[in-house]
């Protein structure tokens, strides 16, 4: 199944999209990567969905990526046995480490790490920023606050501490358990939530041990302060605008989004723009014009992928949401300004043979109007380089690793095909022309540009470029 677009679609599975028929419809509508949200659902639920996706993959012959999105250290208050309370601006409210009944005057906050990081004047945001408290005085077990922005408050609402690095690992015991399960299940990407420091990514990499690729969700201001280092040691990045928009003023999120996308492009790291992209389609069969523009902006900015969350996980119109996102992407990519803008901001290639060959492949393919660029790769690095160049022709990735083929479902412009390992370059050329023809990228008499590394099977050694005519 060939997609006639370059930007990929990530969709979240959930109660509205759990059965085989719905997952099939979502895939046929355009989903390239399925996100499994480990904040919800049991391991049994996730395994059933994984089995459905893998069966669909085998049937369609197209590699499909599975992203396991870990919950991360979500900070929450305790409960109110007598029901929700209403806080008013100017009220005094106490947060306490010790357990106890939530009342109009106090609630439990069972996170000693927060108290260790607080000081007078610190603001805390509750329930995604709907309630704002300011610390008046505190110690390592409690905090007396004043209500700055009032509102209703109920059980287990989330807590954000903007501008403060809370001394928490990005991997809770639940996350470690979920990660082990996801790796055994065969997830291709592990998404880390609430990353604050490069050390958080290093810790996860050590535990994952190469069994999956690491995707970092950027949703904490502290992570933006060390953005270059975090992106450098990640395999891919998600601009998670929901939580980022809670801790930062809304007007700061768009320029940060653009900054992240530009950095990822320059480093050759796939980047996803996520959260509330077609949010009204949770309840309506069509999006607002502002939402359509939001998706289009991410595509114009050259994000590798755009993501649907509640729209497909819990919404009333999951298929329509994917179809709409597919239509928006294709419309943007047909605009002459789209690739002109991409090439105007072309990253400078590294001074390596591999980067030079990949740049040459794009220029040759465009000059001779090739049907596609064929990249033969083991690790995927050759194909990621080709994707960074944003060529005007499709990228056909041929690899002997199904793991690599699935991972590349996230990368811009890449159509991956897994084949048996070839030992000779002449055999690669023959297979490249066969696959280009069978997958619909070129016909008899058309030309394709092939890149590979010799000797075969050595990752990151692209050193051959060849133009071949389809027999």
CATH no. for residue 411? 3.40.1380.20
Same domain, 306 and 435: no
Same domain, 90 and 150: yes
Burial of 91 (0-12, 13-18, 19+ CB in 10 A): middle
397-418 pLDDT per residue, tens: 999 999 999 999 999 999 999 9
The CATH number given to whatever domain includes residue 224 is: 3.20.20.60
> Which of 134, 160, 186 finishes a domain?
160
Can you give the pLDDT at residue 242? 87
> Which of 284, 307, 338 finishes a domain?
338
Over residues 105-120, mean pLDDT: 94
The answer to whether position 240 is within a domain reads yes
Catalytic residue list contains 217: yes
Can you give the pLDDT at residue 456? 67
The CATH number given to whatever domain includes residue 93 is: 2.40.33.10
The residue behind tokens 């609402």 is: 157
Q: Which band of pLDDT confidence, cut at 50, 70 and 90, is reported for residue 247? A: confident
**C-alpha count within 13 angstroms, C-beta hemisphere, residue 226:** 16
DSSP 140-180: SSEEEEEEEE-EEE-TT-BEE-TT------S--HHHHHHHH
Mean model confidence pLDDT for the chain: 94
DSSP-assigned beta bridge partners for residue 97: none
Selecting among 12, 122, 145, 275, the annotated active-site residue is 275
Catalytic residue list contains 137: no
pLDDT surpassing 80 at residue 147: yes
Q: Which band of pLDDT confidence, cut at 50, 70 and 90, is reported for residue 69? A: very high
Can you give the pLDDT at residue 353? 85
Same domain, 212 and 125: no
Catalytic residue list contains 35: yes
Same domain, 54 and 103: no
Same domain, 186 and 221: yes
Selecting among 35, 269, 388, 390, the annotated active-site residue is 35
Structural domains counted in the chain: 3
Same domain, 67 and 195: yes
Same domain, 202 and 262: yes
The residue behind tokens 């900054």 is: 259
Can you give the pLDDT at residue 460? 63
Can you give the pLDDT at residue 351? 80
| Residue 220 neighbours by CB under 8 Å, 6+ apart | 194, 195, 196, 243, 244, 247
Selecting among 76, 94, 258, 330, the annotated active-site residue is 76
Q: Which band of pLDDT confidence, cut at 50, 70 and 90, is reported for residue 354? A: confident
Selecting among 3, 62, 217, 385, the annotated active-site residue is 217
The residue behind tokens 């070839």 is: 422
Over residues 168-194, mean pLDDT: 95
């Amino acid at each position: 199944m060939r997609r006639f677009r370059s930007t990929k679609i990530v969709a979240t599975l959930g109660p509205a999209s759990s059965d085989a028929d719905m997952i099939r419809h979502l895939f046929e509508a355009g989903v390239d990567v399925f996100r499994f949200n480990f904040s919800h659902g049991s391991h049994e639920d996730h395994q059933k969905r994984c089995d459905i996706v893998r069966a669909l993959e085998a049937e369609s012959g197209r590699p499909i990526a599975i992203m396991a999105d870990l919950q991360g250290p979500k900070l929450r208050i305790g409960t109110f046995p007598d029901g929700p309370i209403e806080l008013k601006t100017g009220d005094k409210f106490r947060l306490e480490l010790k357990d106890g009944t939530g009342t109009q005057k106090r609630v439990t906050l069972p996170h000693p790490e927060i108290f260790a990081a607080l000081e007078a004047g610190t603001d805390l945001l509750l329930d995604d920023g709907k309630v704002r408290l300011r610390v008046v005085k505190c110690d390592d077990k409690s905090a007396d606050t004043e209500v700055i922005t009032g509102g209703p408050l109920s059980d287990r609402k989330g807590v954000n501490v903007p501008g403060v690095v809370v001394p928490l690992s990005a991997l809770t015991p639940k996350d470690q358990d979920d990660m082990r399960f996801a790796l055994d299940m065969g997830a291709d990407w592990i998404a880390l939530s609430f990353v604050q420091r490069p050390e958080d990514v290093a810790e996860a990499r050590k535990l994952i041990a190469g069994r999956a690729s690491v995707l970092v969700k950027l949703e904490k201001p502290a992570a933006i302060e060390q953005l270059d280092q975090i992106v450098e040691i990640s395999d891919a990045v998600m601009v998670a605008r929901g939580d980022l928009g809670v801790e930062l003023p809304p007007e700061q999120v768009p320029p940060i989004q653009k900054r992240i996308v530009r950095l990822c492009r320059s480093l050759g790291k796939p980047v996803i723009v996520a959260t509330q992209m077609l949010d009204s389609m949770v309840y309506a069969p069509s999006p607002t014009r502002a939402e359509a523009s939001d998706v289009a902006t991410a595509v114009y900015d050259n994000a590798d992928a755009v993501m649907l969350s509640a729209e497909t996980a819990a919404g009333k119109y999951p298929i329509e949401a994917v179809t709409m996102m597919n239509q928006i992407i294709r419309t943007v990519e047909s605009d002459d300004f789209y690739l002109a803008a991409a090439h105007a901001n072309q990253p400078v290639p590294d001074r390596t043979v591999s980067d030079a060959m990949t740049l040459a492949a794009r220029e040759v393919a465009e000059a001779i109007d090739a049907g596609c660029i064929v990249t033969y790769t083991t690790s995927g690095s050759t194909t990621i380089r080709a994707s960074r160049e944003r060529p005007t022709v499709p990228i056909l990735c041929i690899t002997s690793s199904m793991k690599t083929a699935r991972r590349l479902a996230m990368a811009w412009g890449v159509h991956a095909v897994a084949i048996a390992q070839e030992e000779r370059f002449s055999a690669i050329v023959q297979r490249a022309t066969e696959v280009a023809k069978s997958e619909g990228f070129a016909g008899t008499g058309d030309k394709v540009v092939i890149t590979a590394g010799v000797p075969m099977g050595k990752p990151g050694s692209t050193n051959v470029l060849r133009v071949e005519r389809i027999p």
